[in-house]
Copies of this chain bind each other. A is one copy, B any other.
Amino acid sequence: MLGFYPITAVRPLHVKNRFAPTLHDVARRAGVSTATVSRVLNDPALVTESTRELVLGIVEELGYTPHFGGRALASNRSNTIGAVIPTMDNAIFARGLQAFQETLADAGVTLLVASSGYDDEREFEQIRALVSRGIDGLMLIGAARPKETYTFLDRRSIPYVLTWNFRSNRDICFVGFNNRTAAKDIARAVIERGHRHIAMIAGITASNDRASDRVDGVRDALDEAGLSGRDMPVVEAVYSLVEGRHACATLLERRPRPTALICGNDVLAVGAITLAKSRGMRVPGDISITGFDDIELAEAVEPGLTTVHVPHRRMGKAAATALLSILDGTTDWQGIELETRVVMRESLAAPS
């Protein structure tokens, strides 16, 4: 049953003959000019109802689909915007991106998505590829990237929006939330519960302003409480369950042993919880653990994860709206700061 099935293709599939009907084909068949067909498709009001119906019939009959390249060439705009996200492997970006896409689709704009693998150079490559596809605008995650990338975008005057973080800035449009204060908020909640030995499992902070801002935020809260933020034990880890487990194991070696673990991400936090439990520790009895993002898993895990809720869908929608308004050019654009909130569940309690 299992095996390979070598098969000879019936048609020579490598022949690039697309049999794709063109504007010309439609025009000829309808007995009108290509210009008229184009108008029917792009600005129907300019055309008599009778010819419009005639043409649309032929379009349907032939299964005509406009050739994108030709259209982009002639109109110098593609009705396409691009997004480069760090990874598709992770649910974090999925929800926000989905909303982003839906909002664009409502405006008749297509979204092209590429991923960088958290690598600056690959991000740049992907941006180039998107730009060469004629994107009208771009969405990027966070602000940390080489100057050259911004220079490139500016030289090409590609409008862009930065999301998943927020900075108050006159020149760059941010649509996101303040990772630093959000992290500070949840750290405060931990401190208020009476914890004094706090450690952090952070994301990889290199080229990732969201991750580093969250570390800074936690340090802010510690400093504010008279605990030394600088001395807080921090382990950086790739966002995955296994890495969360490893990082947790490492931090449990520290003496004095931390009574609370603040994680830069829900996935890391869940990994940490599973490790702690597998070591026979009670969460939050022996150790409190917090997350960041409020993904679906945060609610399902045992104990429920205390975390920072991020309004991903609203953010995606707002980013799309902002970018569209920049592209539109009729109104001034506005950066938007979204609010996060700490969601209290069971994984955080007072130290015993």
Contacts and interface: CB of A to CB of B under 8 A. Distances in A.
Interface in A41-87: 63, 65-73, 76-78
Question: Which of A20, A181, A271, A327 has the largest number of chain B CB atoms within 10 A?
Answer: A20
Given A132-B65, A132-B68, A77 B16 contact: yes
A293 B15 CA distance: 37
A71 B326 CA distance: 28
A3 interface: yes
Contacts of A226: none
A328 interface: yes
Interface in A233-258: 240-242, 245
Chain copies in the assembled complex:
2
Nearest to A126: B110
Interface residues of A, number: 92
A271 B300 contact: yes
A131 to B, nearest CB: 6
Residue among A1, A10, A65, A178 with most chain B CB within 10 A: A65
Interface in A1-56: 1-20
Given A18-B76, A329-B15, A332-B6, A68 B133 contact: yes
Q: Which 5 A-B pairs have the closest CB atoms?
A: A14-B329, A69-B69, A69-B72, A5-B335, A65-B132
Interface of A: 1-20, 63, 65-73, 76-78, 88-91, 94-95, 97-98, 110, 112-113, 115, 128-129, 131-134, 136, 152, 155-159, 168-171, 173, 178, 181, 240-242, 245, 270-271, 274, 277-278, 296-297, 299-302, 326-330, 332-337, 339
